[in-house]
Each structure stands twice: as structure tokens, then as C-alpha cells.
Amino acid sequence: MIKIRNVRKSFENLEAVENMNLTVNKGSIYGLLGSNGAGKTTLLKLIGGIYVQDDGAIMIDDQSVYENTDIKQRVFFIQDIPYFLPQYTVKQMAQFYESIYPTWDQNRFEELVKTFNMDIHKKVHKFSKGIQRQAAFILGLSTKPEVLILDEPMDGLDPVMRKKVKGLLIEDVAEREMTVLISSHNLREVEDLCDHVAIMHKGKIMIEKELDDLKSDTHKIQVAFNGSIPSEFIKHMKILHQEKRGSVLLFIVNGKEEEITAHIKKFNPIIFDILPLTLEEIFIYEMGDVGYAVENILG
Ligand SMILES: Nc1ncnc2c1ncn2[C@@H]1O[C@H](COP(=O)(O)OP(=O)(O)OP(=O)(O)O)[C@@H](O)[C@H]1O
């Protein structure tokens, strides 16, 4: 289990992570979403022990992460630009990780090399961006990490490789309860993979929920009344966004579907539809709610 307690990290005058609290359960695939500059990479680097926090505690299995060799041997971090030693081939990188990670699995490495059809004798820097990322996944998964940290993991991978990588991640989570932390702007992918999501903005977590709960708690409503809008109608609704299109009102609201439906039906609407939202839509409206607005985006 990963525990983040009252963590702060500043760069000069800028507080990149502000008093953060977060728990990630073992075997979870946890998606970290957020606006540009929200602090996602900083948080991942803190969890990966690359940065040290100014305040608070970051624990994996109740052990502090920073400068903890035991923990570092159980965590693998694929950064947004994967890291390789200069002039190294994939084979040499494998030998390097084998010397660091006691859990290195040579059979797994050989299997993955075949799966990806990887040329392990070529220098990594000569590969394309996508193939470098494939190499990072092969190496990372061969260390059999307890915690895999992925910053924009699918960037540069083609759709076939994305599917392959997703399958491999899910397999390791199912078979040995690997915990995965993913920062991504690709919400479709997060929606596919993650069981939990947190949305960050300006160094803070705005929402942190099971993905299914987040999706079942946010709805798009279309409603119209015969005559003017009843004044009581808007009360008792947590509205993230509203628009008027002719006589039809469009709302994005938080709450339980049954409660919202019961509330609206009391006002005898002549049109009433309640629709689920995609994670992308939820993200956009929640961001709008904290002033990171994009106008007129209702579909
Ligand atoms: N090494 C650093 N030195 C100074 N400022 C930094 C450093 N790393 C990050 N920052 C600042 O901290 C803030 C958070 O950056 P971070 O990279 O964590 O955001 P992010 O959520 O990953 O953003 P994006 O989605 O754009 O990749 C930004 O304002 C950034 O400029």
C-alpha cells in the first residue's frame, strides 16, 4: 500500500504539491489525471524516491521511500522520457537492472523480447521513440516490480502496442497484485485500465474516487418545462455546468441518478433525459468547476 500524508514539494516559490494526502491500495491501477502543470510528475517522482518531499511522509508498505534501497528495489519508474544509460543496448540495460533488482526475471525478459520482437543488441538511443518505450516496458516488467510508476506510459506507442502493453499490465496486476500508478492525459486509456482515479489541479487533489463511483456520480441532464423554469428546480442540485439551448436546459450534475431523477420528476418536465458521461467529460466539467473552464463544450 502506498500512503502519502501531508506531503509538500516546492520549487523556489512554486508549491508543486500542496499538503497532499492519498492512499493507493495494493493491486490497484491508479490513474492520476490533471491539468498541465498540476504536479502529477512531481508527485510520481516523490513516490518513486527521485525527489524528496519538503514536508510529510511517503510510505510504501509502511516504509519511508526516499533513500530506501529496499523499497527502490521493489519499485520501477518509467518516466515520460524513458531513462537509459548512454550508448547501452537493451541487453546491457537488462544486465544493469539485473544487478540492481534482486527480483529480475531473465525468463520473463526473454519472453517479452520475443513478444515485442525486440532487437536487444542495438543501442537504445538508435531506436524510435515508440520502440524505446517498448524497451522500457520490457525492462520494467522483467524486474517484477511491486509498484510500477508510469508517466504518460502510452505516449508514442502505436495502437497494437498499446493493447499489448495494457494486457501485460493487467496480467501482472491479476497474477501478483502489482500496483500501478499512471499519470496520463489520455482519458480513454485511463478509463479502460484504472480502477481508481485522482484529478489534480494546481498541486492539489480535487477528486479522488473509484472510477465506477466517479462515473455513477456525474450525469448529463436534458430537461424542458411547459412555461418558465420552476424556481425551486435548481435548488438541491450540485450543478457543475449549465447551458440553455432554446427551451431545453442542459445540466451537468453530481449526485445519485435515482435522487436526481426523483427530484426533477416532481416538476413535471415535458422533456427529461439523464445520460452517463465519459471520463473525459467528467474531467472537463470538474475542471470547469474550479475555474479551469472551457466554454460551450456540451455535446
Ligand atoms: N525541477 C523543477 N524545477 C522547477 N520547477 C519545476 C520542476 N519540476 C516541476 N516544476 C514546476 O512544478 C509544477 C508542476 O509540474 P509537474 O511537471 O509536476 O506537472 P504535471 O502535472 O506533470 O504537468 P504536465 O501535465 O504538463 O506534464 C509546474 O509549475 C512546473 O513548472
Residue-level pLDDT at 296: 44
Q: Whose CA is nearest to atom 23 of ligand 1?
A: 37
Q: How far is the CA of 203 from the centre of ligand 1 (A)?
A: 9
CATH number of 216-296: 3.30.70
Please report, rounded to a whole number, the percentage of residues in the chain having pLDDT higher than 90: 69
pLDDT for the residue numbered 110: 97
Ligand 1 binding pocket includes 75 (Cβ within 6 Å): no
Average pLDDT of the residues of the chain: 91
What pLDDT is stored for residue 299 in this prediction? 42
Minimum CA distance residue for ligand 1 atom 7: 11
Averaged over 238-243, what is the pLDDT? 87
Query: Does 134 sit in the ligand 1 pocket, CB within 6 Å?
Result: no
Spatial contact of 56 and 242, defined as CB atoms under 8 Å apart: no
**CB-CB contact of 139 with 97 (8 Å):** yes
| pTM: predicted TM-score of the whole model, two decimal places | 0.89
| Nearest CA owner, ligand 1 atom 6 | 11
Per-residue pLDDT of 162-211, as tens digits, reads: 999 999 999 999 999 999 999 999 888 889 899 999 999 999 999 899 99
Q: Does 39 contact ligand 1 (Cβ within 6 A)?
A: yes
Structural domain 2-202, CATH architecture: 3-Layer(aba) Sandwich (3.40)
* pLDDT in the model for residue 52: 95
For residue range 125-140, list pLDDT tens digits in order. 999 999 999 999 999 9
Closest ligand 1 atom to Cα of 203: 14
pLDDT (tens digit per residue) in 32-75: 999 899 999 999 999 999 999 999 999 999 999 988 999 999 99
Predicted local confidence at residue 120, as pLDDT: 97
Q: Is 274 helix (H, G, I), strand (E, B) or coil?
A: strand
Residue 280: left (phi > 0), alpha (psi -120 to 50), or beta? alpha
Q: Which atom of ligand 1 is nearest to the CA of 183?
A: 22
Q: Is the predicted pLDDT of residue 294 greater than 80, yes or no?
A: no
pLDDT band at 222 (very low <50, low <70, confident <90, very high): very high
Interface predicted TM-score (ipTM): 0.97
Ligand 1 pocket residue status of 199, Cβ below 6 Å: no
From 7, 10, 14, give the residue whose CB has the most ligand 1 atoms within 8 Å, as the site to mutate.
14
**How far is residue 183's CA from residue 188's CA, in Å, rounded to a whole number?**
13
Q: Where do the structural domains in the chain lie, given as residue ranges?
A: 2-202, 216-296
Q: What is the mean pLDDT of residues 262-267?
A: 90
Q: What distances in angstroms separate CA 161 from CA 89, 137, 138, 139, 177, one per listed residue?
A: 21, 11, 12, 15, 23
- Structure confidence at residue 293 as a pLDDT band (50, 70, 90): low
